[in-house]
Structure 1
């Protein structure tokens, strides 16, 4: 089977790349070991984060670092056995998080973040998925009044600088917007530009169905079998070997396992995260995702129920799940959000693919013609999937990219 492009990875990024390439006339086959949208794209908080213009950085405040070091936080926990393998990555992450370098990362990410909603909306309209997306924005909720007042001023500055819409809600204002919340917060910052998705996995699957309707093909296969055969790239699938002139690696946290045999050493770390769905016992339905800033978790209304998602767990990809972080978050969220019984048999565990400089890898492999990369989107994979697909497709077709792709080149490592 000969195809113009093989796209490895059927998460939100890979599906979006495949869609944009198919839209430009490429013959595309999408390859994954599972069905579309069943890995990291399935388990996030459902936020298209148009307001997240500053990447998540390593904390520079020593009090925060000390709290995390004690390993009792719901926002971040670590597996002691895994820390040695993360040491160099964390050191680079700390260095990249210095204020001047963080500002540079924010500038580099802004063109992608700024187009994220528009690129999603184009797909949503074509795929007929408007029922999955709500223009409600999301809330940053603060328990401490001093932290709320301080961050509210910073939010207004960011909103003014980047043309974003923000509302500052005191305790009474928050109750008026979210009647389901049972106290506990001094106030909240309401970012109204983002969209919330009631089923991220279904959204990715909907984009994949659109890809198939427009002539693309999806097959099961093993990305680890990727090999160069002369001027072509080959991968083994359940339908037999597939060859194509080009291949795109969009495997999220597993991308390095394909790149390493080819000689690429990208510092990619998987930040683990959990979620669980709950029945609601609240007096009113939750209307939008709420981030408990001090708690380090998100509660989002989903089609299945209220989804509680945890912060970051630093642990090896193959380490067994640890329920402690989710249990702590559940204990804090239950009385405020009216979390009822658990609806899932067990917590879901996913892997966020992160680079230490807080930028994804998008663009050509520098030593292998016809090989392209699209991975490393950290906490913003759902947000940046379609816009990444557009940028990579423009590069692959020789179009003028809508933004300079240099900050995302693999050669920076």
Structure 2
């Protein structure tokens, strides 16, 4: 008799987890409140980032911290009324960003990132999603010489340390490759290995169709109804109560809603982000991200997607136009944009942990319950890779990556009930 599993959450991470379990012969039901791939997985930059071996650390530079505190830039923003709630977790995030600790974080992160392209390739091929994929990389563009020099040095370091491929472009070289740019930039690093996706939600749709074609089920339901059921777990759906031997929480920024109901107090927080599509008659040869200014410009099926940096706020706080208006202004300095496609910008949340590493592993205090969330900026990139790790462990296989950096129990008492 086949083993059975519930997967709660239909973003990139959840859909990939369900597919990997189905590959292993599981009777799988994915439970999602809406349509798969329409939340955080829809709203990201649409990049599968092979170069992202270093997660975003909290700055320790005094000038940068002052800029953030005074909200002088567009890359980081915050809601003052939310800081008292968020501050203790940001303090832990800052602590883990010290070089002595951060190096261990990078080791754990890189072990996952190195598999992102090969694991996506399997699912892209199986789902027939090649028409959504460009394999031309993306360009990190710089407006200051100081930023460009630091970016070029980092590209050389990542090549030396991790074999990451890149090209360094001076101002003239960038202008030749991207003639649509109106502003002369200080230069760029062209990260050549990553993929870009013209419809991020559409890619999750293809993966979800692959899951159902293989015999998996996708049902609408409420993850908050998850509860023990004998030796297993059950959840309420529109088609009734569904039971299984194991359950996986893959709810991204909503994961803490369910884990707190079960008694866990994990150190999770969110970084919010915005995007808006604009009419666009020009051409970019690759997506571009101005990391100094905190704005990305990404050709998508709906138009040119302009995104923001990070906003530190509570997940359900009201929308703020400050960052997205700033991103639009910065993008218009560089490109001839048309009118916005949407009446309101999209707002979503990235699920973060205080040590920058995802949680992948068995819940410490509940048999048959698994955690698989906390990917921060890279859930879209890492979904297939961490899904393979999670599904393999659920199936009793020897892990293909050392799972110890991602174990939920690393948070000690916060991970106990």
TM-score range, shorter chain: over 0.9
Q: Post-superposition shift, 1:154?
A: 2.2
Runs of 4+ residues over 4 Å off in structure 1: none
Conserved in 2, the CA contact under 8 Å of 1:287 and 1:301?
no
Cα distance in 2 for residues equivalent to 1:83 and 1:146? 31
RMSD: 1.1
> Helix, strand or coil: the match of 2:338?
strand
Cα distance in 2 for residues equivalent to 1:60 and 1:289? 29
Cα distance in 1 for residues equivalent to 2:286 and 2:409? 39
Q: Post-superposition shift, 1:147?
A: 2.0
Give the aligned partner of residue 41 of structure 1: 41
Give the aligned partner of residue 94 of structure 1: 94
5+ long unaligned stretches in structure 1? none
Conserved in 1, the CA contact under 8 Å of 2:183 and 2:333?
no
Give the aligned partner of residue 266 of structure 2: 266
| 1:164 maps onto 2:164 in alignment | yes
Give the aligned partner of residue 135 of structure 1: 135
Q: Post-superposition shift, 1:139?
A: 0.9
> Helix, strand or coil: the match of 2:245?
strand
Give the aligned partner of residue 69 of structure 1: 69
| 1:145 maps onto 2:145 in alignment | yes
Cα distance in 2 for residues equivalent to 1:72 and 1:281? 32
Cα distance in 1 for residues equivalent to 2:97 and 2:165? 26
Given candidates 291, 296, 305, the residue that maps to 1:307 is 305
Cα distance in 2 for residues equivalent to 1:94 and 1:153? 24
Give the aligned partner of residue 208 of structure 1: 208
Q: Post-superposition shift, 1:146?
A: 2.3
> Helix, strand or coil: the match of 1:243?
strand
Q: Post-superposition shift, 1:73?
A: 2.1
Cα distance in 2 for residues equivalent to 1:16 and 1:155? 30
Give the aligned partner of residue 415 of structure 2: none
Conserved in 1, the CA contact under 8 Å of 2:295 and 2:330?
no
Conserved in 2, the CA contact under 8 Å of 1:55 and 1:102?
no
Given candidates 341, 344, 347, the residue that maps to 1:349 is 347
Q: Post-superposition shift, 1:142?
A: 0.5
Conserved in 1, the CA contact under 8 Å of 2:175 and 2:184?
no
Cα distance in 1 for residues equivalent to 2:292 and 2:273? 17
> Helix, strand or coil: the match of 2:7?
strand
Give the aligned partner of residue 52 of structure 2: 52
- The two structures have a TM-score, normalised by structure 1, of 0.98
Cα distance in 1 for residues equivalent to 2:222 and 2:154? 46
> Helix, strand or coil: the match of 2:279?
strand
> Helix, strand or coil: the match of 1:340?
coil
Query: Map of 1:320-399 to 2, 5 A cutoff?
Result: 320-399=318-397
Q: Post-superposition shift, 1:3?
A: 7.5
Which whole-Å deviations, capped at 9, do the CAs of 1:208-254 have from their partners, x for residues lacking one? Answer: 00000000000000000100122110101111100100000000010
Cα distance in 2 for residues equivalent to 1:319 and 1:183? 35
Conserved in 1, the CA contact under 8 Å of 2:272 and 2:311?
yes
Which whole-Å deviations, capped at 9, do the CAs of 1:53-86 have from their partners, x for residues lacking one? Answer: 1110101111111001012321111101100000
Cα distance in 1 for residues equivalent to 2:76 and 2:153? 26
| 1:21 maps onto 2:39 in alignment | no
Q: Post-superposition shift, 1:184?
A: 3.3
Aligned length, in residue pairs = 410
Which whole-Å deviations, capped at 9, do the CAs of 1:270-317 have from their partners, x for residues lacking one? Answer: 1110000011144xx012221102111111110111000110111111
Query: Map of 1:113-124 to 2, 5 A cutoff?
Result: 113-124=113-124
Q: Post-superposition shift, 1:138?
A: 0.9
Give the aligned partner of residue 414 of structure 2: none
Give the aligned partner of residue 219 of structure 2: 219
| 1:248 maps onto 2:244 in alignment | no
Cα distance in 2 for residues equivalent to 1:90 and 1:351? 16
Q: Post-superposition shift, 1:149?
A: 1.6
Give the aligned partner of residue 408 of structure 1: 406
Conserved in 2, the CA contact under 8 Å of 1:77 and 1:312?
yes
> Helix, strand or coil: the match of 1:87?
helix
- The two structures have a TM-score, normalised by structure 2, of 0.97
Which whole-Å deviations, capped at 9, do the CAs of 1:322-363 have from their partners, x for residues lacking one? Answer: 011100111111131222110112100011000010000001
Cα distance in 2 for residues equivalent to 1:398 and 1:47? 32
> Helix, strand or coil: the match of 1:342?
coil
Cα distance in 2 for residues equivalent to 1:202 and 1:154? 33
> Helix, strand or coil: the match of 1:341?
coil
Conserved in 2, the CA contact under 8 Å of 1:45 and 1:289?
no
> Helix, strand or coil: the match of 1:272?
strand
> Helix, strand or coil: the match of 2:68?
helix
Q: Which moved further from structure 2: 334-343 or 164-173?
A: 334-343
